[in-house]
Each structure stands twice: as C-alpha cells, then as structure tokens.
Amino acid sequence: MFLKMMTKQSTNNSYRSLPNGYQTTIQNGLRGVRNFSGQMYKGIKLDQETIEQLANAIKTADAIVIGAGAGLSTAAGFTYGGKRFRQYFFDFAATYGIQDMYSGGFYPFPKTEIYWAWWARHIYFNRYVNPPKSVYQKLLGLIQEKEYFVITTNVDHMFQKSGFDKKRIFYTQGDYGLFQSVNQKNQKTYDNEEWVMQAMVAQGFVRDEHGIFQVPNNHNIRMEIPTALIPKCIDDVSDMEMNLRADQNFVEDEGWHKASAAYAAFLEKYKNKHVLYLELGVGGNTPIIIKYPFWQMVYENSNAVYACLNYQESYCPKEIVERSICIDGDIFEVLQELESKGV
C-alpha cells in the first residue's frame, strides 16, 4: 500500500541555518555530567507542603519548560504490559511468548505481514486512542496561561492531541503516527493513520459504539495483514519503517527541525529568567535529553527552579537541591492536588 506524504522535505535545506535545540540540549546534558558530583537527593512522598511549593513555583514562573518521558503516559494509563497488553496482544503473547508492547517492537517476526500486523496494533492503541486518565488535560489546565514549551521523548503525540500548542512541542524521538522510507536519500515522513485503520480492519478488529477498535467477542483476529497492505513509499517505492529514533537512520524532517529551532529560541529567550523546569516521568533510558540538561540549566541560572515528578525515580543532584522540588508519587495524583490549590 502506498502512503501519502505528510511533511515535505525543504528543497533548499533552509532549516540547516536554524538553531539546533536538540544539539543544545545534548550539550547541556554533557556539561551536566561533568559538573555534578554524583551525590543525589531522593524525592519525598506527596505532602501538602511540597504541593504548596510546586503550586507557587508554577504561579510565579516567568516561563515553564516541560520535559516529559514515558512515565507521564504511563500515569495517563498507557501501560505497555499487564491487562492492556493481554487484551489486545493475547495472540502474540501465546504464539511468540512476548511479554509486553515494548519488547514486542524488537521481536524478529518470521513474516513481514506479521511484523506489520504487530505494528498496526501497537500504533493504534498508543497513538490513535485517548488514554484512560486525563493527565495531559490536567497538565494543560495548570500551565496554559503561562509561557511554556514542551520537550518530550514520548512518541505517542498525546500533548498535541490533548490541546497543547503544536508550535510549543518538540518531539525529539519521532512519532508513532509517521513512517519513513528505508531509502535514506528520502528525508520525508509520511502520515500512517489511514494505513493503520485499514490494517486493523484486516486483522478482524471491530469498532465499538464509540468508534474504537476492539477485539470481537469470539476473539477471532488475525496476526497478519494481507501482503498488498505492506506499506510502501509513494515517492520511491521503497519499504517503509517507523519514524522512531532507533538508529542513525532516523529521519529528522523539516517539521522536526522547526520544532528543534523553536525550542532553542525559547531557551535563549528565558535563559536568565525565573524558569520552572518541570520534569515529568523521565527515567534513566535517555537522561541526556531532558534530565541532565534540566539540571545543568538550573545550575547555571540562579533564578531557575527544578521540579521532578515521578514514581520511584524522583531525585536531583546536591548542587541544585536548594532550588529543587522532587516528588516521588503518581503524577495523576500530584496534578489533582495542584488543581485543588487553584493553580
């Protein structure tokens, strides 16, 4: 199946002259690695004093930089294992022994038709449906009147889908909703929504009363798509692959570069202001993109505050502990508490 193009490659490569926010954040992260001693202070459990501190930090900030990792979407209910995985991938679990959606993305399926059946489901249930909990909407309600920018390693598109200004979001690692050609001379990305919907139907999924695909009552679904549905690039007839930063072949298209430049410009505009660096659900997989750069920018700006919300992974280096708010808890519950404070 040939896919229509979503974003066009710049014919004059004008984006190469734009500021590179991704490079800036990596450089900040590397400086942070060198500057901090390694002595860490762990976050505390949710209490009213800490909530008051965070509420005040949000209210008084000149600008808020939100850094979001997988833990934020997990808090919204986008879990990759457990009941949700068994509900939609029970056949893959039984046949191939796959334990969760994350590991399934690396499984060496024996046929291309099976590989794309897996990815159609993975994309659909993590990109084209709404999460069970209103985490993103609550977050937007807290900061929408402020000057803000979002940098995220998440690829589920939930910020934009939840109403955040797309001009204030930088998805550094790609988007489940985009394909790219395996031909590296082609630096375009392609919208995959139409293909995903067709691939879900081809596997036997049926829409419920809300229009959401579900497993039929008889559980009769297929782990393959027709060969004719295997995605092909409309421009060069090459095979397609996910637009995810898995290796050096990741396509940074024009939209990606514009978002990168906008992030760099935002950081420059507020670099000496009273900035709240609000880190949400960032773990240890890619700390060089959000966590370490946030630490470094707070370290360099005495007017800045660092806040880290995460379950069992909330901490900061001693060098910035006096200007840090670290909460070890469920992000959804923290946002609810902030709502109750009238933030």
DSSP 113-164: HHHHHHHHHHHHHHHSS--SS-HHHHHHHHHTTS-EEEEE---S-HHHHTT-
What total of structural domains would you count in the chain? Answer: 2
- Complete DSSP assignment for 60-76: H-SEEEEEE-HHHHHHT
Is residue 38 in a domain? yes
Assess if residue 291 is contained within a domain.
yes
d(CA 134, CA 77) in angstroms, rounded, equals 9
Residues 165 and 277 in one domain: yes
Asked if residue 142 belongs to a domain, the reply is: yes
Residue 240 lies in a domain: no
Note down the domain range covering 331.
Answer: 17-75+135-177+254-340
Cβ-count burial 178-200 (b if 16+ within 10 Å, e if not): bbbbebeebbbbbbbeebbbebb
Residue 38 has a pLDDT of: 86
Same domain flag for 219 and 150: no
- pLDDT score recorded for residue 150: 98
Query: pTM score, two decimals?
Result: 0.94
Output the CA torsion sign for 68, 72, 73, 79: positive
What's residue 342's pLDDT? 77
* Eight-class DSSP state of 211: S
Tell whether 147 and 289 lie within a shared domain: yes
- Say if 186 falls within a structural domain: no
- Position 1 scores a pLDDT of 72
The CATH number linked to 59 is 3.40.50.1220
Q: Are residues 317 and 274 in the same domain?
A: yes
122/147 same-domain check: no
> Is there a domain that residue 222 lies in?
yes
Q: CB of 138 within 8 A of CB of 336?
A: yes
Note whether residue 207 is domain-resident.
yes
Residue-by-residue pLDDT tens, the chain, 343 positions: 766 544 444 334 567 778 899 999 999 999 988 888 889 999 989 889 999 999 999 999 999 999 999 999 999 999 999 999 999 999 999 999 999 999 999 999 999 999 999 999 999 999 999 999 999 999 999 999 999 999 999 999 999 999 999 999 999 999 999 999 999 999 999 999 999 999 999 999 999 999 999 999 999 999 999 999 999 999 999 999 999 999 999 999 999 999 999 999 999 999 999 999 999 999 988 899 999 999 999 999 999 999 999 999 999 999 999 999 999 999 999 999 999 877 7
CA distances 58 to 62, 114, 237, 314, Å, are 9, 47, 49, 18
Judge if 169 and 59 occupy the same domain. yes
Q: What is the pLDDT at residue 10?
A: 38
8-state DSSP, 239: B
- Asked whether residue 280 falls in the same domain as residue 335, the answer is yes
Q: Do 263 and 329 fall into the same domain?
A: yes
pLDDT, residue 334, reads 96
- Does residue 307 share a domain with residue 335? yes
Q: Does residue 248 sit within a domain?
A: no
Q: Are residues 329 and 270 in the same domain?
A: yes
Co-location of 121 and 260 in the same domain = no
Which pLDDT value is given to residue 4?
A: 54
- Residues whose CB falls within 8 Å of the CB of residue 158, separated by 6 or more in sequence, listed in order: 73, 76, 78, 131, 136
**What pLDDT sits at residue 33?**
86
Residues 212 and 274 in one domain: no
